[in-house]
Amino acid sequence: MRRYSFVQLLRNAVGLGDGWQQAWRSPEPKSSYDVVIVGGGGHGLATAYYLAKNHGVRNIAVLEKGWLGGGNTGRNTTVVRSNYLWDESAAIYEHSLKLWEGLTRDLNYNLMFSQRGLVMLAHTEHELNEASRRVHANRLNGIDAEIWSREQTLAFIPILNGSKDIRYPVIGSSIQKRAGIARHDAVAWGFARAADALGVDIIQNCEVTAIRRDGSRVVGLDTTRGAIDARKVGLVAAGHSSVLAGLAGFRLPIESHPLQAMVSEPIKPVLDTVVMSGTVHAYVSQSDKGELVMGAGIDAFNSYAQRGSLPILEEIASAMIELFPIVSRLKVLRSWGGIVDICPDASPIIGKTPVDGLYINCGWGTGGFKATPGSGWVLADTIANDRPHPLAAPFSLNRFSSGRLIDEHGAAAVAH
Amino acid sequence: MLLIPCPYCGERAEGEFRYGGEAHFRRPDNHLEATDEAWADYLFMRKNPKGWHRERWMHLAGCRRWFYVVRHTITHKIATAYKVGDAHPDLPA
């Protein structure tokens, strides 16, 4: 892999370079691999990358039924933060955020990671109390967090509706200054390029049709591009996790729902942070192109359709106008939906499954993008050592029978 | 937007309804003897099929009654709706 650098950019720009190489190969699948990762989104690619980089595993394939990053990695609102309430969540999301902080350099790929801060608005006394509780919990876990007054909040976000006569006036906020956004496609491409350079075979247009077992142990996969033997298999398929678990013969506490987002037409810079509101229910940032990137909620019903319904978009539009009256004349450029894997306690499932040699990473629901590097890191370690990584251990599948759930519904403030 | 055929009121817009998730799973009969795994299965595990799905809906802004719908989770097409206590219709091919 030729490293990207300013010098290389300059040489190619003036015609002295030898052009740009393809970022990753498109190999034919081999008949057997040490580890096969099912799912070529950010989490799957990160898992393969860290398996190769941290654990020296060389014979790895990533199978993707569509194209790289064509699922939720390319369909989210790119928010990265770590201010979760419970210790278990704080630990894994903060581990992820610390990886984000060095990831562009590590992958040699510009992820456009921008720590522009994330403000969670409080509109009621109760909300401010809960925010205060979360901020203290964050600080005890070594995560930066502050409570801001109404005045501080309005000064930081000039376009925010500061009227006291609205149904939900802003009375304060909490902020995590190290939070921010990243370029989502670059995350998939950067991990793919770096993993490919370490010898990982990335195989697109390859759907798994069966999971073969020998007794209680996984031995391989049947795919639309032929049979592949595998010593270990990691399922990292987000909204399609239940389908894959069904092929392997076990059940998951996951339900798949469409989550929608939309962007406005590009405008001049008006918002240099990320704003979330749980009560009015919106989360928004402005992309470098100038579009306002707005996240909506999920449709209540189960769906695999990668599209949502219009009432949800109507809700996000009305919430946006309530929070930021200046956007009322903006046109919506496009909207889209992704299929998210919703877990009963709004926390992920990472670790071993009832099938030996088969590992799973799913249930990130509406908030998986921010966890991409950390999630890949701990699953790679779990697969390499056949035991849960310490940060992944609390998120095991058996927490649903032990009853030790990690309830992050409240801490998320909004569908994140 | 779904057009949901309430068996009592006829077709109405989705906004009048509340979704109740997967239908027809049963609480462990002998609850003192049931294992933790049996409880987990009842409380948390779901079929989540990619295809036809039997599910519960409630007509909140209408008759306020619960009923069942057979809906496809890719096309969102609704095959049929039936009342609590009715025989379960076969899933479409």
pLDDT tens for A143-170 read: 999 999 999 999 999 999 999 999 999 9
Digit-coded pLDDT (tens) for A353-392: 999 999 999 999 999 999 999 999 999 999 999 999 999 9
Test mutation, B41, B44, B57, B70, chain A, max A CBs within 10 A? B44
Mean pLDDT of chain A: 95
> Which of A2-16, A309-323, A374-388 holds the top average pLDDT?
A374-388
Q: Which segments of A108-237 does DSSP mark as H helices, in order?
A: 125-140, 150-156, 184-197
- Judged by phi (left if over 0) then psi (alpha if -120 to 50, else beta), residue A39 lies in left
Distance from CA of A118 to the nearest CA of B (A): 32
B75 to A242: CB separation less than 8 angstroms, yes or no: no
Distance from CA of A336 to the nearest CA of B (A): 15
Digit-coded pLDDT (tens) for A388-408: 999 999 999 999 999 999 998
Q: Are A322 and A168 in contact (CB under 8 A)?
A: yes
Burial of residue A28 (number of CB atoms within 10 Å: 0-12, 13-18, 19+): exposed
**Closest by Cβ to B1, choosing from A253, A254, A310:** A310
Tell me the chain A residues in contact with residue B73 when contact means C-beta distances shorter than 8 Å: 256, 302-305
Tell me the chain B residues in contact with residue A311 when contact means C-beta distances shorter than 8 Å: 1, 14-15
Test mutation, B50, B53, B69, chain A, max A CBs within 10 A? B50
Chain A residue set in contact with B, beta carbons under 8 Å: 240, 242-243, 251-256, 300-305, 309-311, 344, 400-403
The pLDDT-based confidence of A267 (bands split at 50, 70, 90) is very high
- Residue A104 has a pLDDT of 98
Chain B residue set in contact with A, beta carbons under 8 Å: 1-2, 14-15, 18-19, 21-22, 35-37, 39-41, 43-50, 53, 55, 71, 73-76
Pick the closest to residue A54 from A195, A237, A189 (CA basis).
A195
Task: State percent of chain A over pLDDT 90.
Answer: 93
DSSP state of A114: B
Longest dimension (CA), chain A: 67
How many of the other CB atoms lie within 10 Å of CB of A275? Answer: 23
Q: Are A351 and A360 in contact (CB under 8 A)?
A: yes
Pick the closest to residue A120 from A393, A368, A411, A355 (CA basis).
A411
User: By CA distance, what is B46's nearest residue in A?
Assistant: A253
- Residue A411 has a pLDDT of 54
B73 to A305: CB separation less than 8 angstroms, yes or no: yes
Distance from CA of B1 to the nearest CA of A (A): 5
Q: Does A412 score more than 70 pLDDT?
A: no
How many of the other CB atoms lie within 10 Å of CB of B17? Answer: 21
Distance from CA of B67 to the nearest CA of A (A): 15
**Closest by Cβ to B48, choosing from A256, A400, A401:** A256
Prediction pTM value: 0.96
Tell me the chain B residues in contact with residue A309 when contact means C-beta distances shorter than 8 Å: 1-2, 14
Rounded CA gap, B76 and A299, in Å?
12
Angle between helices A184-197 and A372-385 (to 10 degrees): 30
- Residue A18 has a pLDDT of 77
> Which CATH number applies to B3-83?
3.30.2270.10
| pLDDT mean over A183-204 | 98
The residue ranges of every structural domain in chain B are 3-83
